[in-house]
């Protein structure tokens, strides 16, 4: 059993005010199932965080690109005067 799964089981037992030895087979199955759901949601959050970072970088690059275009336009009109 992984360290995180053990900590999750301990935390759930603390929340239920039970010791690990007092858990029935069904309770352990439920806790293990909820841990799998927890892991899946954490993976979803990781993926969304990475996508958010990628989009933030892309947005910053686009803003910089637009600023460069605006600066080039200003410089070109200054030379034309």
25-80 and 3-16 are packed helices; what angle lies between their axes, rounded to 10 degrees? 110
For residue 30, which of 14, 44, 9 has the smallest C-alpha distance? 9
Asked if 28 and 16 touch (Cβ cutoff 8 Å), the reply is no
Asked if 72 and 50 touch (Cβ cutoff 8 Å), the reply is no
Q: What Rg value do the Cα atoms of the chain yield, rounded?
A: 27
Single pTM value for the model = 0.67
Q: In terms of pLDDT, which residue wins out, 61 or 81?
A: 61
Q: pLDDT (tens digit, 9 = 90+) per residue, 11-63? A: 999 998 989 999 999 999 999 999 999 999 999 999 999 999 999 999 999 99
- Whether 78 shows a pLDDT value over 70: the answer reads no
Q: Where are the domains of the chain?
A: 3-80
End-to-end CA distance of the chain: 75
């Amino acid at each position: 059993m992984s360290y995180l799964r053990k900590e999750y089981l301990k935390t759930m037992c603390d929340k239920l005010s039970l010791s690990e030895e007092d858990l029935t087979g069904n309770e352990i199955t439920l806790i293990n199932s909820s841990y799998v759901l927890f892991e899946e949601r954490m993976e979803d959050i990781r993926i969304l965080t990475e996508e958010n970072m990628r989009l933030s970088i892309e947005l910053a690059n686009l803003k910089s690109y637009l600023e460069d275009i605006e600066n080039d336009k200003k410089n070109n009109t200054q030379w034309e005067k």
